[in-house]
Structure 1
Amino acid sequence: MTKDECRMPKEGAAARHARASAAFGFQKFGVRHSAILFLFSTVWAQADAPRGTLPAEQRTNGKQTLAAVEKLKPLTAACAARIESLLGRPICTATIVGEDGYVLLKASEVPELQKARIKFSDGRTADLREVHRETRLDLLLAQAVGITGLRAVSFGGARTLTLGQWLCSVADSGTEPRIGIVSAKNRRIAGTGAALGIRMDEKSTKDGKGVRIVGIASESPAEAAGLQEDDILLTIAGEKVVEFRRVHDIVNKRQPGEIIDVRYLRKDKEESCRVRLASRTKVLQNWEGEDFANGGVSLRSDNFPEVLQHDIPLLPTDMGGPVATLEGKVVGINIARVDRVTTFALPVEAFWTEAQQWMKEDRHPPKAVPAE
């Protein structure tokens, strides 16, 4: 027995009982505490444990999802074709509306049809002949030269659709089916005019020869045409300009997609370029950073008499393709990708009666009246 132990007072029975009870209670609490810690640590471990990811085919439009729209392929993918440049770059999609080669597409994407061609799902390609360009609807009726035996789309009605109703369309220039829903009521979309995508000095140049550019919007028509800051605009669409307001007036009277000639001065050297105008809405989105990293928006995204709005994930190159209900009724043609989650389609009632008349007049032109 140590000295320290000898100095400790003797413990009575009551004290020993109390100490024993306290020790037993602590042990019981320790058991419960350990059990609780074990339980939570198990839950945390399960939460932190990596979960198996879905197979790639189930992450977007997987096989099971697309099985529901498989029967619609003859009404969508089989009735769509790809419009591409002469070098094979995709431009937009076309909807086949006549067995003898008639197609409808987005007009603002092909201002110069002779520089484009059409490629069908069976691999055939052809030149295109312009039949009718309807600026009001941003639609172009064209005919594939020398092509027959096509499967034309069959239209239903669009104005009875309801919010949340499923729709099916095609992506990748008509080869991949995708689904979404009607996301807003049909309505008119007002136009905001066309734009170059530039900011100009409000003061005329010292010599009064033109208007100086002080800013260029990213991904704008001006940037695509090669215009730069400090260039001095001399003429727009053949008209001399000496103040910035006149530039606005000339451009704003035109439609997105139109091509205008621009003459300008760069470091005392006069140069010229051709600019394909875009919707002012698109230009402002780019300037504010709204259009970055989302696949882009259409050159023209407004000024339509009526639109059917849906959320099918599409790109600008998919515009012009058909959109159908899951019951198999083709109800319109995609006409503008507006933002990350919004696409406008022209409902069938807005264009099909006129389009049929354009085809009829082209197939059976009036006979020439003999000169008297």
Structure 2
Amino acid sequence: MHPVQSSFLLVAKNPNMNSSVHRRFARSVARGLGMVIAAGWIMVAAEIAVADERRDNSEMMQLIRPLSDSVQYSVAQVLSGGRPVALATVVSSDGYLLTKRSELSGDPIRIRLHDGRLYPARVASVRRQNDLALLRVDADVSLKPLQLVDHKPSIASFLISPGRTGRPVGIGVMGVGARKIEHQGRLGVILNDSPDGRALVEEVYPNSGADSAGVVRGDLIIAINGIHESNKTSVIETLRDMFPGDEVRLTILRTNRSSGLDTLEMDARIRDFHLIRESENDSRVNGPRSDRLSGFDRVFQHDTVLDPDECGGPVLDTSGRVIGINIARAGRVVSYALPSSLVISELTSMLQEARGAE
């Protein structure tokens, strides 16, 4: 028995103690018991927190390794411009893989299979709306496709994200069911009308694609991707269709020192507005995030900590079913996955399109 409990019983049984003293002591004991109970709950909560932080410890990894191993021949690594940028999921035995489109920012594109073999690949089809790219391996190789299963995981269930060699890259918990995420792609400028009606840059956001490209206050945007833009409204409407990660070619008029106008061509990358506005401290807390972390028809959310180059691979439930494709690292403990129901629909039309073009 706890000492505080023993003292309370002793007082309760003592007939010589007057009622006033009894009440005061009882109140003190009650406060003491409250502190003990609170401390106990804090210890329990701390133990739970520690257990959650160690969710991917060696024992847990060993437990789920058979599930992850079951798909090891069907997960590849994507290299673009000479560096790893994403994972890819094998979806057809004749050389097709599905990956995250916005990470494919440079040539050549290559695929590294589970056994380390490296093959050239090309983009065979894209679906910008959900940031998907279908890759075709440019080699005579037979692959083992995964079977996507239209299954909705329950909230708080465990999810497994396998890597290229079968080793799990993360274990997470299902947090939010499938929902639409509106895209927040921005060039990073505030526009106004110039005296002659053209799109005048009034302000450039630091850390934006416009800032990186060299756009400055006072510039006139007269064309996007080679198409003439007559005024501010047309520029805004064109940029509204651009997703985070998209590259755009800007044609700019800039006043020079002799009061003339120079025509400049600039390549700018559309960035997610969340990233543009992010403070340095927020960036440290959130860690590396995907260039495109918004703009999806449907995603479910889980708390697996993925690196951006670990998106594009499959998500498994604890029965080993492939229930989705990881598509974005959106926050410190926020990852998005496209559900299999959506992926199956997109994939069917993408394969038809790609095979029809061969």
TM-score (norm: length of structure 2): 0.72
Cα shift at 1:262: 0.5
Is 1:198 aligned to 2:189, yes or no? yes
Cα shift at 1:153: 1.9
Q: Partners of 1:227 and 1:124 in 2: how far apart?
A: 43
Unaligned regions of 5+ residues in structure 1, if any? 1-57, 368-372
Q: Corresponding residue for 1:164? A: 156
Match runs of 1:237-248 below 5 Å: 237-241=225-229, 243-248=231-236
Match runs of 1:28-177 below 5 Å: 61-86=56-81, 88-110=82-104, 114-159=107-152, 161-170=153-162, 176-177=168-169
Higher mean C-alpha deviation, range 317-326 or range 255-264: 255-264
Q: Partners of 2:97 and 2:251 in 1: how far apart?
A: 36
Cα shift at 1:314: 0.8
Cα shift at 1:139: 1.3
Length, aligned pairs only: 299
Unaligned regions of 5+ residues in structure 2, if any? 1-52, 257-261
Residues 179, 309 of structure 1: alpha-carbon distance in 2 compared, 3 angstrom cutoff: same
1:322-359 deviation per Cα after TM superposition (whole angstroms, max 9, x unaligned)? 11012211111011222221111111111214424543
Q: Partners of 1:224 and 1:140 in 2: how far apart?
A: 26
Residues 276, 172 of structure 1: alpha-carbon distance in 2 compared, 3 angstrom cutoff: farther
Preserved CA contact (<8 Å) 1:76 1:324? no
2:206 to 175, 200, 217: 217
Preserved CA contact (<8 Å) 2:183 2:243? no
SS in 1 for 2:347: helix
SS in 2 for 1:66: helix
SS in 2 for 1:351: helix
Residues 226, 62 of structure 1: alpha-carbon distance in 2 compared, 3 angstrom cutoff: farther
Residues 155, 216 of structure 1: alpha-carbon distance in 2 compared, 3 angstrom cutoff: same
Q: Partners of 2:216 and 2:226 in 1: how far apart?
A: 20
Q: Which amino acid counterpart does residue 158 of structure 1 have in structure 2?
A: H
Q: Corresponding residue for 2:221? A: 233
Match runs of 1:243-322 below 5 Å: 243-265=231-253, 268=256, 269-278=262-271, 282-289=272-279, 292-293=283-284, 294-322=286-314
SS in 2 for 1:359: helix
Preserved CA contact (<8 Å) 1:332 1:348? yes
Cα shift at 1:165: 0.3
Preserved CA contact (<8 Å) 1:169 1:322? yes
Residues 85, 303 of structure 1: alpha-carbon distance in 2 compared, 3 angstrom cutoff: closer
Preserved CA contact (<8 Å) 1:241 1:247? yes
Q: Partners of 2:349 and 2:219 in 1: how far apart?
A: 47
